[in-house]
Structure formats: structure tokens, C-alpha cells
Amino acid sequence: MSRSAVVHHLAGEPHSRPGFMRTYLFSTDHKMIGKQFLWLGLLMMIPGGLAAMMMRWQLAWPGTRVPFTGGIPEPFMYDGHMGPEFYNSLFTMHGTIMIFFVAMPILVGAFGNFLIPLMIGARDMAFPVLNMLSFWVGLLSGLLMIAGFFVPGGHAAAGWTSYVPLSAAAHFTGVDWGQNLWCISLIFLGISSLMGSINYITTIINMRAVGMTLFRMPLVIWSLFITAILLLLALPVLTSALGMLLFDRMAGTSFFLPEGGGEPILWQHLFWFFGHPEVYVMILPGMGIASEILSTFSRKPIFGYKAMAFSMCSIAFLGFVVWGHHMFQSGMNPVLGMSFMVSTMVIAVPSAIKTFNWLGTLYRGSIHFTTPMLGALAFVSMFVVGGLSGIFMASLPVDIFIHDTYFIVAHIHYVLFGGSMFGIFAGIYFWFPKMFGRMMNETLGKIHMVVTFIAFNFTFFPMHILGVGGHMRRIYDPTVYEFLADLQPINVFITISAICLGVAQILFVINFFWSLAAGRRAERNPWRSNTLEWSAPTPPPHGNFETLPNVYRGPYEYSVPGAPEDYLPQDRRLDPKPAPTG
Ligand code: HEM
Ligand SMILES: [Cu+2]
């Protein structure tokens, strides 16, 4: 459909009210698809989080009965006691679910879908049907992943990185369907994400409102744009590698198996060529979300807008040339190792530019400590901690000691929980009013953010100490290693904190559902923000805007010294006249 045809379709003819199926299930409206992705991600937090709790229980009190596991049959559990194979499945599924079915669906699927058309002043995505398909294929992928828990032989257990030859171990035995389902599920996820990223990129390039130049786009749109490009270029590499792994497992090929002349290290290269850009897929949208929120609640334009956009571009570019930093221990040529080390450290530069610009945004702002603001501040501070431990590991000689220890578990959680999850919470608290037309409870939200922040640090900071003390990751029973005996009290402390962290999320669940049903009705622009989505009605109707906006300035192009509460009156940026048609 041409652009004007889309406008006609969406704005021109009066709509008959679509039925339940078209409204909620097979909707092609980007806002509904965004919400579907949000529900998917929130639901998948439950198995992902439960797996984490069960692992933590086992690590603190190995050999005791894990609570609430009475009904789980052998070989997963032996009368409530966890077997080692099940532990392996747990960390595999925890990592896989959290990355592919929580962080990606919410950050990219939910925020991407909901925000892109609204914030660039479009009526919908470029390819609405493709968009709907992307969700349904994504859902299918999630179901296949969960199905792995119920097949003979148990679920995949080779870690979320699925290294060969371990992941190819059931070669030809045919019973181990868990790992096969893991591969098939992620192949579907790759297809879903391909459809999504093509759609996002096309929409952002082609469907911006009149006057919305690239450098007038809000930073969160920049971040989603770059994320979509990363997904487009990186995920197909994983999809193909998964196909090869499946062939090795089921069809007798030997892409990765040395017995047949294959190369196990090839898997690592393919996986991490995808895997490193993937970590930026999970952090860039959070950076965008934090930027919008910090600017709104400092009542100041973002500091250094272009530097922010360009540093995201350079982070994305560098993200494709650093994958070898995950493979320092694979026996690679040290000269190659050095070049991966240097290119990795270079990423600290754009990351620092972003951090200082966030601080510059806060500096002398009129700061409002709302719930989304607390989430954004947590994001920035925890991202700094995670970034700093990343520099430790980027250093080849240091990594020799901390590779495969709890130091890496600490690091990934500082970026994935401290970064991505706080970004998700901040974004939900911020855009909930626009999504669902009601406000979330601020008091409950603030308690949730503060308790989560504290419990998060109690849970994950001590893991640095475990790691430096030599505590390996992915071990089932730390008490069998004598040299770890002194560290066991730390394991107990971490588990108690992790349980607090898990329980604290009930506050979020209560707030979310209570606000959905009975929250205060939201006005059009409750946070007095100045990006386009807030100029649409709340919640936005099908087609989003009464008249398509004309954009005269970017959201950060105002700088009022000593800015008052509303530094940017809506009517100074938006043309009240309808957009020219034709
Ligand atoms: C309550 C919060 C969480 C707790 C208590 C927790 C706990 C753990 C533990 C104990 C491990 C290490 C298992 C081992 O090496 O034996 C682990 C691994 C991991 N976690 Fe989490 N986690 C949490 C949240 C998250 C989130 C939100 C994400 C991502 C968005 C995440 C991603 C990962 C990944 C990728 C791994 C590595 C899995 C592997 O080794 O294959 N975690 N987590
Ligand atoms: Cu990496």
C-alpha cells in the first residue's frame, strides 16, 4: 500500500467496530501487537524467574528439598531434590528465556511496536500484517521452548550459548528432543525478529511525519532503529548456525563435529558473531528509554543529542568486530586476542560519552523523582557498574582468571537486570498511561523500585567476590569443592537476597493489574513530556492521531535557561493545522 493509501485506509473511511478476534488476537494495529509482546514477555518472566530461584536455592542449600517442587517427576526432581541434569536445564532455560522471551519481546517487540509509529508521527507500521505474523511466530517459538520441559530426556542443558560438542551430544540417539526443540524454537524466533526488524527499519525510514528529520527523532527511536539494524544483520547468523546444529544432530552432517571433520570452534564464532550484537539489542533500547525519561523529569532537553545518536551508531558498528572477546580461552592466536581486546575497550568511549551526557542532562535540572525516573536512574548507575566490570573482562590477561566464574554472572546481571530490566520497568511505568489509559500507583511503584534496587545489589554484587575467589559458574553443588568452603556463606546471603528480589516483584504485579482495572484515568500528557506520542489521545485510537502532526523542531531542540516546569509548550512544536494530503 502506498503511503497515501495507508492514510486513507486509516483515517479516511469510518470504521465498523472490529470483533474480539480482530481487536485482541489477530490485530494488525501496532499498539495491540506491542501489548501482545508485552504480555508474552511478562508471562515468560515467571518460568525464567522461578528457574533462577530454584538454582539459587540449590546453590545455597544443596541436597535439601527445594520448596514447591513436590509434584515434579523424575528425572527432573527426585522427590523434591534436584538432580544435576535438571540444574543444567535450569540455567540453560533461565538464560534462554530471560534473553529471548523476556528482554527481547518487551524491549524490542513491545516498546518498538508501541512507540515507533506514535513517536515518529505515523498511523501504523509500514507492514501491519507482517507485524502481526511476527508476533504469532514469536509466540509459537515461545511455546516450543516451553514444550521442551515436557519431552522425553528433559530440556536442553547445554547453556544458553549451546556450545558444541556438548549441545550435539545426543547426536543420533534421537531421544534428546529438548535440545532439538531449543534449536527449532530459536529458529522461529529468528524468523519473527527478521520480520519485525524489516518492518521497524522501513517504518522509520519511510513513514516519519512531515518535518520529522532523522535528527529530530527522539533518542528512543534512534535506539530502536539501530537495534533493528543489529537484529537484521546478526540474528540470521544464529538462525543459520542453529540449522547447521540441527543437521549435525539429526541428519548426520558434521559442521561442528570433529569426528566427521567439523570444527567446534566454528560454532563459537557464529554464536558470538550473533551474541555480542545481541547484548546491544538488549541494552540500546534501555538507553533510549532512559534518555527520554531523564530528559522529561529533569525538565531539560537531552544534553548532547547528536553525540548520543552517534555514539549509539558507533557502539552498534563496533559491536560487530569484538565477538572474539568471548573466546579468549579457546586457544586463539594471542595477536588476534589482542585486537579483540583493543576493539572491545574502544567501546568504552561511546559508552562513556552517553553516560556523561546523561549526567549533563541531569545537571542543574529540575529533577522530579517519579517512579519512571527512579528506574532510569537505576538503569544509568547499574549500567556503569556493569560496564566497568566489562572492561575488566575485556582485558585478555585478566579474563584468563575470571572467565567462566561468578564474576561473569555478576557482570551479565548488572547489564541485563541492572540495565535491561530496569529499562523495562522504567519504560512500563513511563508509558503505561499511554498504553492503557490509566496511571500506575506512584507510591507502590517507588517502593518497588527502591526495594528492587537494594535487593538487586545485594544479590549480584557479592557474585563479583565469589568469582574472584574462584567460584565457577554453571556448577550444581559448590560444597563439593573444598577451596570454595569459605565462600559458601556468601552463597547463602545471595540466595536470601535473591528471594527478596523475587518476592519484591509481586509489588509490580499488584500495581500493574490494580492500575489496569482501577488506576486513575490518564490525561493526554500526564508527565508533561514533549515527544509526539503524548500529543495523541489517551489511549490512542486506531490510526493514532486526529490529524497527522507537522513537526517543526526536535524534542530536545529547546533550551530555556533555568527551565520552568513546562519547558516546551505543546503548541510551539506541533502545527494545529491538519497535515497536507495528496
Ligand atoms: C531474580 C533475578 C535473577 C536471579 C536470582 C538470577 C540468577 C542466576 C544464576 C544463579 C545464574 C547462574 C547459574 C550458573 O551459572 O550455575 C544465572 C545465569 C544467567 N542469567 Fe540470571 N538471574 C536473574 C535474572 C536474570 C535476568 C533478568 C536475565 C536477563 C535478562 C538473566 C540472564 C542470565 C543469563 C544469560 C545467564 C547465563 C546462563 C548460562 O550460563 O547459560 N538473569 N542467573
Ligand atoms: Cu560480547
Residue ID of nearest Cα to ligand 1 atom 28:
98
Closest residue CA from atom 34 of ligand 1: 95
| Atom 23 of ligand 1: nearest residue by CA position | 52
Distance, CA 277 to ligand 2 centroid (Å)? 7
Q: Which atom of ligand 1 is nearest to the CA of 159?
A: 41
Q: How many domains does the chain have?
A: 1
Whether 149 maps to a domain, the answer reads yes
CA-wise closest residue to 293 among 223, 360, 372: 372
Q: What is the CATH number of the domain that holds 383?
A: 1.20.210.10
In-domain check, residue 339 = yes
Whether 210 is covered by a domain: the verdict is yes
- Give the pLDDT of residue 62: 94
Integer distance in angstroms from the first to the last C-alpha of the chain?
A: 14
- The pLDDT of 46-57, averaged and rounded, is 96
Ligand number with the minimum distance to the CA of 340: 2
Q: Does ligand 1 lie within 6 Å of residue 228's CB atom?
A: no
Ligand nearest, relative to CA of residue 415: 1
251 pLDDT above the threshold of 80: yes
Nearest ligand to the CA atom of 282: 1
Among protein residues, the one with the nearest Cα to ligand 1's atom 9 is 52
Does residue 237 have its Cβ closer than 6 Å to ligand 1? no
Helix (H) or strand (E) holding 175: none
Looking at residue 550, its pLDDT comes to: 84
Beta bridge partners of 472: 405
Indicate whether 387 belongs to any domain.
yes
| pLDDT more than 70, % of the chain | 92
The mean per-residue pLDDT over the stretch 222-251 comes to 96
What pLDDT is stored for residue 546 in this prediction?
87
Alpha carbon of 97 to ligand 1 centroid (Å) = 10
**Confidence band for 23, pLDDT divided at 50, 70 and 90:** confident
Q: Is the CB of 323 under 6 A from ligand 1?
A: no
Is the C-beta atom of 412 inside 6 A of ligand 1?
A: yes
310 found inside a domain: yes
CB 255 within 8 A of CB 322: no
CA 46 to each of CA 89, 210, 301, 353, 455: distance values in angstroms, whole numbers, following the listed order: 16, 43, 37, 36, 18
- The domain of 430 spans 26-554+565-573
- For residues 286-313, give the mean pLDDT: 94
Ligand nearest to the CA of 272: 2
Q: Which residues are paired to 574 by β-bridges?
A: 551
Which atom of ligand 1 lies closest to the CA of 417? 27
Range 159-170 average pLDDT: 87
What pTM was estimated for this model as a whole?
Answer: 0.92
**Residue closest by Cα to atom 15 of ligand 1:** 474
Of the candidates 458, 357, 447, 356, the residue with the CA atom closest to the CA atom of residue 417:
458
Instruction: Please tell me the predicted confidence (pLDDT) of residue 541.
Output: 93
**SS3 state at 16:** coil
CA triple 496-500-504, angle to 5 deg: 170
Residue 19 is assigned to a structural domain of this protein: no
- Give the per-residue pLDDT at 571: 37
pLDDT tops 60 at residue 8: no
Expressed in angstroms and rounded, the spacing between residue 314 Cα and the centre of ligand 2 is: 15
Residue 11 lies in a domain: no
Judged against a pLDDT cut of 60, whether residue 113 lies above it is answered with yes
Q: What is the model's pLDDT at position 558?
A: 57
On average, the pLDDT of the chain sits at 90
State what percent of residues in the chain have pLDDT above 90: 76
Residue 268 lies in a domain: yes
Q: Region 237-253: what's the mean pLDDT?
A: 93
| Ligand 1 pocket member 471 (CB < 6 A) | no
> Residue 565 above 90 pLDDT?
no
